[in-house]
Amino acid sequence: MSERQVYLDHAATSPILPEVIEVVAEVMATVGNPSSLHAAGRQARKIVEESRETVAGALGARPSEVVFTSGGTEADNLAVKGLYWSRRAADPRRVRILASAVEHHAVMDAVQWLGEAQGAEVEWLPVDAHGALEVAALREAVAREPESVALITVMWANNEIGTVQPIDQIVPIAAEYGIPVHSDAVQVVGHLPVDFSASGLDTLTISGHKIGGPIGVGALLVRREIELTPVQHGGGQERDVRSGTLDAPSFAGLATAVDAAAGNIAARAEHLGQLRDLLAQGVLSAVPDAVRNGVPDRSLPSIAHFSFPGCDGDSLLLLLDAAGIHCSTGSACTAGVQQPSHVLLAMGVDPEVARDSLRFSLGHTSTRADVEALIESIGPAVSRARKAGLSGTSKR
């Protein structure tokens, strides 16, 4: 195992910011349930509401539109299920859910469950070879029977290949028929400007640990006039749609991380984009037959995704890990059996090639030295992985 540690998996989780650790520790040292009426409770509530105002201000939302959650998965489930149940209760004809074929599993699995257990009619919308939603297909699906559509859900940017979706084209189509749109924006915050009000979206998900905040906290932005049916019930906190004791330390940490991520986005995006391009050029130079997935001009500045034909992704990942370089295959693993990425399959990538892929993602700790270390290691690692595959020692 190499002593050098190079972290290139920020899209999975990003190292916590020092200022976040400081504020969480400070708030954790206080006592008081934010729902209590005594002085300690009121002080805790003050921290919660100040955190809500910070998140709202950084993301172009009203404070009343910020619903704190335990993370991105809960927020996505609350949005998708809550919108579906609320819309169908108001009009039983609204049974269709239109979702992009490249959604994160937090959305994809929630949608599939609604189809299997709640009678939803699910339509997966196609994407092009770069992972971008085919807007014409969405328009056709909506126009075919608009009164039956409960909601549309399209992530703002893909977590595996970084492709940014045409939200500015999707929202007007939905608005024409009064259909709510949800977007998972977990990967976008800190890399692209996010203005919830200007976006026209009805619900939007963020997550703390992707931007240097705590693990286990996130938020769902919910337009004020939108009704959501709760997924869980209890004390009626968070607009009565997300019951549970308010976690003041985590909310304060999330607010600190969001505030930091929203500041100076242009400079950060330029810096990360330069590192990403250097990484991509170096990888393609070291492994000429590697295939870069997605296109830079429609992608987050933080993600570079490659397929290495004839090179098992898991084997390559472990070889790089032994060299001290941490990255991700970006694919799901079910019951110990590696599965090709549903994102790449939706893009038309051959299943075998889809298994031979890695994602490198950058963030606030990334440096040129990190990128150079990967470039130095990737060629020999690919060569070893391919030899292992040819000798029959690489297992799929």
Q: Is 396 helix (H, G, I), strand (E, B) or coil?
A: coil
49 near 248, Cβ under 8 Å?
Answer: no
pLDDT of residue 394 exceeding 70? no
Amino acid 296: pLDDT: 85
- Token couple for 43: 């002080």
Amino acid 4: pLDDT: 79
Reported as a pLDDT band with limits 50, 70 and 90, residue 392 is low
Distance (Å) of CA 322 to CA 4, 171, 182, 292, 327: 10, 45, 40, 23, 11
pLDDT of residue 395 exceeding 50? no
Query: Using one digit for the tens of pLDDT, what is the confidence trace for 113-154?
Result: 999 999 999 999 999 999 999 999 999 999 999 999 999 999
Buried b (16+ CB within 10 A) or exposed e, 103-129: bbebbbebbbebeeeeebebbbbbbee
Amino acid 332: pLDDT: 52
For the chain, the helix, strand and coil percentages under 3-state DSSP, each to the nearest 5: 45, 15, 40
Compute the average pLDDT of residues 263-270. Answer: 93
Phi and psi based region of residue 311 (left: phi greater than 0; alpha: psi -120 to 50; beta: remaining): beta
Amino acid 389: pLDDT: 72
Instruction: List residues with catalytic annotation.
Output: 333
Share of the chain above pLDDT 90, in %: 91
120 near 111, Cβ under 8 Å?
Answer: yes
Which letter does DSSP use for residue 8 in this model? -
Q: What CATH number does domain 6-15+265-390 carry, 3.90.1580.10, 3.90.105.20, 3.40.50.1220, 3.90.1150.10?
A: 3.90.1150.10
Amino acid 330: pLDDT: 76
Amino acid 360: pLDDT: 98
Amino acid 358: pLDDT: 96
Compute the average pLDDT of residues 71-97. Answer: 98
Reported as a pLDDT band with limits 50, 70 and 90, residue 391 is low
Query: CA 156 to CA 191: how far, in whole Å?
Result: 12
Amino acid 335: pLDDT: 41
Query: CA 313 to CA 395: how far, in whole Å?
Result: 10
pLDDT of residue 1 exceeding 60? no
Domain 31-262 carries which CATH code? 3.40.640.10
Query: Using one digit for the tens of pLDDT, what is the confidence trace for 323-365?
Result: 999 999 875 544 455 689 999 999 999 999 999 999 999 999 9
Amino acid 334: pLDDT: 45
Query: Using one digit for the tens of pLDDT, what is the confidence trace for 180-234?
Result: 999 999 999 999 999 999 999 999 999 999 999 999 999 999 999 999 999 999 9
Which letter does DSSP use for residue 208 in this model? G
Which letter does DSSP use for residue 30 in this model? S
184 near 203, Cβ under 8 Å?
Answer: no
Contacts of 159 (CB under 8 A, 6+ apart): 11, 104, 186, 187, 330
Query: Using one digit for the tens of pLDDT, what is the confidence trace for 12-43?
Result: 999 999 999 999 999 999 999 999 999 999 99
Q: Is 51 helix (H, G, I), strand (E, B) or coil?
A: helix
Query: CA 21 to CA 254: how far, in whole Å?
Result: 11
Domain boundaries in the chain? 6-15+265-390, 31-262
Reported as a pLDDT band with limits 50, 70 and 90, residue 81 is very high
By C-alpha distance, which of 279, 345, 280, 359 is closest to 316?
Answer: 359
Amino acid 388: pLDDT: 82
pLDDT of residue 396 exceeding 50? no
